[in-house]
Amino acid sequence: MVRRTKEQALATRELLLDTAQQVFLEKGVARATLDDIARAAKVTRGAIYWHFRNKAELFAAMCDRVSLPMQAMLDPLMRETGPDPLGRLKRTTIMVLQLAAEDPRARDVFEIMFFKCDAGNPEIASVLSAEADNKRQCIKELKDSLDAAIAAGQLPAALDSGLAAEALNAFVAGLLQNWLARRDFDLAAQAPVLVDMLFQGFAGLTQTKRPPPSLA
Amino acid sequence: MVRRTKEQALATRELLLDTAQQVFLEKGVARATLDDIARAAKVTRGAIYWHFRNKAELFAAMCDRVSLPMQAMLDPLMRETGPDPLGRLKRTTIMVLQLAAEDPRARDVFEIMFFKCDAGNPEIASVLSAEADNKRQCIKELKDSLDAAIAAGQLPAALDSGLAAEALNAFVAGLLQNWLARRDFDLAAQAPVLVDMLFQGFAGLTQTKRPPPSLA
DNA sequence: TTAGATACATACACGCATGTTTGTAAATCG
DNA sequence: CGATTTACAAACATGCGTGTATGTATCTAA
């Protein structure tokens, strides 16, 4: 058939990613056929095999389209140094939850990664384990932020920052997972209160001086 | 071949469940072939098709073998009424984490349900959605417990018990998920401290009277 | 004791998803 | 303006997993 111009080709690539996302969400990654995706996108499998080597690479590209921008968005926020490390960490945490809940693409991809794909296919497993490495790194940065907050007197020195980092990450992951599975509460709206609950726990018995209340 | 007695048949059924669990863990539910399982169990697919209608039913039976006993264990604990509802809730929460971390069967099945199966197969999805209903019910019971703790003066009345129940459930789920994915900290040992973090947050600014410190 | 049910093993048929190969028209480049 | 590459479509080949049907030796009950 008609050969497309470069921009048109890029457009069909995006179309394929969009369509794959949609089909993966409906049928799950394992049962979603490349032909399912091709037909939904009104092309043939030839188009898919032109842009991607196989289903796993298509899946990986779909994930990257969410995780890479998100990483790029979070990185500067985490490295930013200032007088209110605890407030920054809290606001960033809330932002992540709200972004994941409100951005349709991020929301759907997270739902796919949580519920609609298994680690059976080794190439898919490698994508997931890369994501796990991300998490590991993320937890380290969380610990650094918490240490900074301790140093600034915003959290008690008795707090185990490593454990607290695990707790915070688990809390966010769990909230996202539960909300995606049931959607019976307003995650974006309640995120500040929810995050506050755990941060209150970090502060613990030993109440220390507080920064001015953040409006987030 | 030789026909087995009833007990022998039940034994092969258990063997099939054990083996399926193992194979599912290695290859994922979708890529695990019934023949894989049969060969690992040193039988043929005929044995599997005799005891189960298909892979989905085998999967469901494997899940039930963990979730049913666990439910039976938790139910009386949650219904139990006493003078220290907060302590009971906290101890139960810790118990769930420790059980999931230390019981090999529960641990593996949770890992399968979290990471090694997708909701593509509709019959498998129904098992997972049944699990989601369980969670819904669980959250209601958590809210009841929290309300009881508020009534007993162990938590501030200002606490949104519904949200706190969501938070607690998400926290537990997230901890389990993160620990299963990376296994880089001692969940069973740290469970008390971790759970305390969130419960401290529930107590919040308004410190109220406390029950005698639980030894858990 | 024997007739039937049980607990599998074995064999068969089938669709279906994948990967690859070939075809082709238009775009791009020299 | 021609040659080559691009961006797919179409056709081909193949394996693989499932479900089912059939065989069969033992257990069980009357």
A190 and A104 both lie in a single domain = yes
* CATH number of the domain residue B4 falls in: 1.10.10.60
Question: Is B57 inside any structural domain?
Answer: no
Question: Is A215 inside any structural domain?
Answer: no
Provide, as residue numbers in chain A, all residues whose Cβ is less than 8 Å from the Cβ of B121. 28, 30-31
Whether residue A26 contacts residue B121, with contact meaning beta carbons closer than 8 Å, is answered with no
A72 and A42 both lie in a single domain = no
The rounded distance, in Å, linking the Cα atoms of B166 and A190 is 11
B15 and B108 both lie in a single domain = no
Nearest C-alpha neighbor of B29 from the set A61, A31, A178, A113: A31
Per-residue model confidence (pLDDT) at position A2: 66
**Across A166-177, average pLDDT:** 98
* Domain count across chain B: 2
Whether residue B175 contacts residue B100, with contact meaning beta carbons closer than 8 Å, is answered with no
Q: Which of B31, B115, B132 sits opposite A121 (nearest CB)?
A: B31
pLDDT in tens, chain B (216 residues): 566 788 889 999 999 999 999 999 999 999 999 999 999 999 999 999 999 999 999 999 999 999 999 999 998 988 888 899 999 999 999 999 999 999 999 999 999 999 999 988 888 999 999 989 999 999 999 999 999 999 999 999 999 999 999 999 999 999 999 999 999 999 999 999 999 999 999 997 544 334 444 433
Q: Is the pLDDT assigned to residue A186 strictly greater than 90?
A: yes
For A199, the token pair is 């941060």
User: Scanning every residue of chain A, which has its alpha carbon at the shortest distance from the alpha carbon of B170?
Assistant: A174
Residue A168 half-sphere exposure toward CB, CA atoms < 13 A: 32
For A103, the token pair is 């951005």
Q: Which of A27, A118, A177 sits opposite B29 (nearest CB)?
A: A118
B98 and B3 both lie in a single domain = no
Query: Could you say which nucleotides of strand C lie within 7 A of any protein CB atom?
Result: 5-11, 16-21, 23-28
Comparing A34 with B207, the larger pLDDT belongs to: A34
* CATH number of the domain residue B140 falls in: 1.10.357.10
Residue where one domain finishes, among candidates B9, B24, B52: B52
The rounded distance, in Å, linking the Cα atoms of A164 and A169 is 9
Question: Is A210 inside any structural domain?
Answer: no
Q: Which of B128, B175, B203 sits opposite A170 (nearest CB)?
A: B175
Domain that holds residue A23: 1-52
**Cα A96 to chain centroid, rounded:** 7
Nearest C-alpha neighbor of B5 from the set B13, B65, B43, B58: B13
d(CA B88, C1' C2) / Å: 62
Q: Is the pLDDT assigned to residue A141 strictly greater than 80?
A: yes
Question: Is A59 inside any structural domain?
Answer: no
Write down the mean pLDDT value for chain A: 92
A69 and A153 both lie in a single domain = yes
A48 and A70 both lie in a single domain = no
A80 and A171 both lie in a single domain = yes
A122 and A32 both lie in a single domain = no
Number of neighbours of residue A203 by Cβ within 10 angstroms: 21
Q: Is the pLDDT assigned to residue A164 strictly greater than 80?
A: yes
Number of neighbours of residue A140 by Cβ within 10 angstroms: 12
Question: Is A208 inside any structural domain?
Answer: no
Question: Is A95 inside any structural domain?
Answer: yes
B120 and B38 both lie in a single domain = no
Q: In A53-89, which positions are buried (b, 16+ CB within 10 angstroms) versus exposed (e)?
A: eebbebbbbbbebbbeebeeebeeeeeeeeebbbbbb
- Among A3-7, A119-123, A197-201, B25-29, the minimum mean pLDDT is found in A3-7
Question: Is B153 inside any structural domain?
Answer: yes
Residue where one domain finishes, among candidates B52, B74, B92: B52
What DSSP assignment string belongs to B113-160? HHHS--S-SHHHHHHHHHHHHHHHHHHHHHHHHHHHHHHTTSS-TTS-
Per-residue model confidence (pLDDT) at position A78: 87
The rounded distance, in Å, linking the Cα atoms of B97 and B195 is 9
Per-residue model confidence (pLDDT) at position A4: 82
Closest chain B C-alpha to A46 CA, distance in angstroms: 24
Nearest C-alpha neighbor of A206 from the set A149, A155, A169: A155
Q: Is the pLDDT assigned to residue A199 strictly greater than 90?
A: yes
The rounded distance, in Å, linking the Cα atoms of A64 and B173 is 25
B93 and B48 both lie in a single domain = no
Q: pLDDT confidence of A18, banded at 50, 70, 90?
A: very high
Chain B neighbours among A 173-202 (CB < 8 Å)?
173-175, 177-178, 181-182, 184-185, 190, 193-194, 196-202
Q: Is the pLDDT assigned to residue A207 strictly greater than 90?
A: no
Question: Is B170 inside any structural domain?
Answer: yes
B105 and B170 both lie in a single domain = yes
The rounded distance, in Å, linking the Cα atoms of A205 and B203 is 10
d(CA A41, C1' C28) / Å: 26
**Across A40-50, average pLDDT:** 97
Comparing A214 with A179, the larger pLDDT belongs to: A179
- Among A61-65, A120-124, A149-153, B24-28, the minimum mean pLDDT is found in A120-124
d(CA B43, C1' C11) / Å: 16
Closest nucleotide to B48: CA versus each C1':
C8
B82 and B175 both lie in a single domain = yes
